[in-house]
Amino acid sequence: MYNVGMAKTRIFVFLSTLIIVGLVGVFASYYARGYRLDFKTLKFQPNGILVIKSDPDGASVFINNELRTATNATISLSPGTYDVEVKKDGFFTWYKRLVIEKEIVTQADISLFKNVPSLSPETFSGAQNPIISNDGTKIVYSVLPGKDIDPSKVGLWSIDIFNFPLGFTNEPKRITDGDLTNATYSISPDGRQIMLSMSNSIFVLDSGSFTSQDQRVNNASKKDSIIANWKKEKDTKDASLIKNLPSEVMDLLSRRTSSFTFSPDENLIMFTASASATLDNDLIPQLPGSSTQKQERNIQIGHTYVYDIKEDRNFGISDQKVDGSNGVALRWMPAGHLLLLASPNQVAVMDYDGTNRQVVYSGSYVAPYAFPFSNTTKLLILTNLGGATSTPNLYSLTVK
């Protein structure tokens, strides 16, 4: 009798354990998919998950004007449209309208920017016509002769715009000397060379070392071949990046755009249309949790767009020129999902889908000369701080 009783107890315990483990497994499965138990009906209700992260973290998250939590957090929400705000003292408020779908994880990675940024000079002898390298790691500019300019400072300079490890500095480096009034210059696609054009002379300089003017070699006869080789280098890289895109997107980029650039993580493409086109929907299978922001599939001449490679979403960004020719320029921020818009009297940062535009600098500067550092903590702007007769210099603008 004892053995039979013990056997029944063991069987009961075993079956109870199976049931409990099964129930826990089912509950965990439902929970992971966004379902939550409604204690009034004792039924699981299908919810979605909002994963919200911010840099810096610890910001307050408001959903439909109600404080819910602090970043970084995971929030369960019933399916629907929500107004999401992220607020932190000393920073601009981030806002976006998000659509939450059942059993789908929607992720929001947010960069918050200071509403009172600080300025620090990076150059002191003036800076003219700054240009940025394709890889976004250096700025090249000229220092021209002037009454208050030390002759030893005149020439072509570069400054690295990434943060060095502790103990290293990113002070400007002189590339060549001499009066560069009316000179033009450009940077090779790999950032290693600079083509300096002066009257009928063409000089190709090493961007990482100093070449005095008496050591410069005139390459005017090779100008066309140098430009052709640089173009071939850029075209080869671009072709390798777009070869796996849907054929419609490849055709758009290769034949119907005046320019296109990839984001630093190569997941997004910013392009300006040179011809009209239409992108069909669902060129790739729709991914769960894809952006729900308004997109534009009808491409218009002269408009600038951002195409999301992974999600097959296309967002309208601007209907005006953003190549710098009219004082307006649009550049990628190092974070990849952010754009820097430089326009007269203000510099703004926006999400890659064109939403959440925040003016991080408002005031006097030489537009469109605003550039991002290789992290999102600083910008570099050209300004004379409102002094009409002062020579403009490059200032770092701390925005995070």
Bridge partners of 305, per DSSP, are 271, 316
From the list 396, 400, 354, the residue with the least C-alpha distance to 55 is: 400
Q: What digits encode the pLDDT tens for the residues 29-58?
A: 555 555 555 545 555 567 889 999 999 999
- Side-chain half-sphere CA neighbours of 82 within 13 A: 26
- Cα separation of 343 and 322, whole Å? 9
d(CA 290, CA 313): 8
> Is the Cβ–Cβ distance between 94 and 71 less than 8 Å?
no
Are the beta carbons of 359 and 346 closer than 8 angstroms? yes
Residue ranges of the chain with per-residue pLDDT less than 70:
1-16, 18-45, 163-169, 386, 388
pLDDT in tens, 117-143: 888 999 999 999 999 998 888 999 999
State the DSSP H helix or E strand holding residue 3, giving kind and residue range, or none if neither.
helix 2-32
pTM: 0.83
Residue 31 has a pLDDT of 57
Q: What are phi and psi of 250, to 5 degrees?
A: -60, -45
pLDDT digits (tens, 9 = 90+) for 94-103: 999 999 988 8
How does strand 48-55 pair with strand 105-111?
A: parallel
